[in-house]
Amino acid sequence: MLQELVRAAMAAAPGDVPPPLATPALLPQAKSVKEDPSFPQASPVVPAMTLPPDLVRRVGDSLLSTNDIDCYIHFRAVCPGWRAATDDPMRDTSDPRFQPRRWIVLDEDFQSEGKLLLLNTESGRFLHRKLPLLSDHYVVATTRNGYLVLADKSPPHSASVLNPLTGVVIRFMAPVPPEVGYAAVSFANSALKLTLFADSSHEIYSAYPDNKSSVVHKVQQAAYVFFRNALVGGVYTNTIGLVVIARLCRLLMTPDANHLCFPVALGREMLLVGSAEVSFFIFKTDKDFKMEDVDTINNYAIFIGHQRCLAVDADKFLGIEANCIYYTENLGSSARICKCDIKDRKVEKISETADFIKKDKKFVLVADRPSTIIHLLSSYTINIPDSQLALQQIP
């Protein structure tokens, strides 16, 4: 009953659907946070039901518990009383409650006229965003937790990190290297850290907002690929643990370049998912970083492609089977989606014909058939969009 009353009150507010993000005339200097005035907290005062502040806060906390930050912002927009009873996500960007965690950006729409399509991998909810800010910057990469990394269109192409759920833009002094194509965002001691990866040089760049330049780490190819996959796969753990797992990965894998190995975040656990010969292996790490063979991941399913890997709650997605690995099989000029049951290792084809065709260097979905959530998530794992900044450097 309470949820119905809250929904009715939110529906009564004319500002419950946020207008498009306004493009700022001038972005602030390094380490500044830009609050977009077009977001609903600036909505005109509207009548709303009177509820005790502690009850309003509990409703808001329930929205944050599922990382539905956009719904939380709509909720606060209902009236001044509800805003006063809840925390403002614009005031502390390091607060984990207001950071996107379970979201991915589906790349099919991500560079289309400033439009953005996000998916909550835990709840199965899609979210459309129109962000005019994207047209004024180069989109460099999207992160596994839903942030967008942007670069100024004018030299030296300083970096910015956009939270699409709150509209907050954090500026960096350090420029974006032109060859970068992967990125990860993390918080350490309340400070945002941006990590960028350059495949061509096997260099890893890291910077905080007030750093004038990035710290550059050049590593061997095998280590570079593993650390890149770990960070873009949502795995944030200490370096010693990653090194142990990387060594194990190299022992398990053959030199065949078509073989895959990804660390995957699954709740509070970390899985190591990969292929060897014609089968898959999956291990779980404990707190001492010891590896344990896994034959079930309960209600989760794993999608693994040439570029990325992620786990989703199968109960929230119609047509996705739990305790299965969905992977793309490279057929040269095409690719198809297969499903492997983790318990009995039985493999099935999703369709008899190819699901993707190769166009230039990317695999695109076959156009003459409807796309399912399996196709969308497989497309997310098989491709990485090119950095718009990198494309500008091509003569």
User: Hunting for tokens 């990387």 — which residue is that?
Assistant: 246
Rounded to two decimals, the pTM is 0.80
- CB neighbours of residue 154 within 10 Å: 7
Asked if 322 and 275 touch (Cβ cutoff 8 Å), the reply is no
The CA-based angle 32-35-41, given to 5 degrees, is: 155
User: Hunting for tokens 């990325």 — which residue is that?
Assistant: 308
Alpha helices in 79-193 (DSSP H): 80-85
CA 326/CA 330 separation, integer angstroms: 13
- Give 189's contacts (C-beta < 8 A, 6+ positions apart): none
Q: How do strand 279-285 and strand 291-293 relate by DSSP bridges? A: antiparallel
157: left (phi over 0), alpha (psi -120 to 50) or beta: left
Q: What pLDDT score does 18 carry?
A: 40
User: Hunting for tokens 């109960």 — which residue is that?
Assistant: 315
Per-residue pLDDT of the chain (395 residues; tens, 9 = 90+): 444 434 444 544 433 334 333 333 333 444 445 555 445 544 444 455 678 899 999 999 999 998 999 999 999 999 999 999 999 998 888 888 999 988 998 875 445 666 788 999 888 999 988 888 888 899 999 888 889 999 999 999 999 999 999 989 999 999 999 888 888 888 877 788 999 999 888 899 999 999 999 999 888 887 788 788 877 777 755 444 556 556 656 655 544 444 677 888 777 777 878 776 556 778 887 666 677 888 899 999 999 888 888 899 999 999 999 999 999 888 888 999 999 999 888 889 998 889 999 888 788 888 777 788 999 999 999 888 888 888 886 65
Burial of 189 (0-12, 13-18, 19+ CB in 10 A): exposed
Q: What pLDDT score does 282 carry?
A: 82
CA 12/CA 9 separation, integer angstroms: 5
The Cα-based distances of 122 to 101, 125, 206, 285 in angstroms read: 10, 8, 29, 21
Sign of CA dihedral 220, 225, 229, 231: positive
CA 260/CA 304 separation, integer angstroms: 8
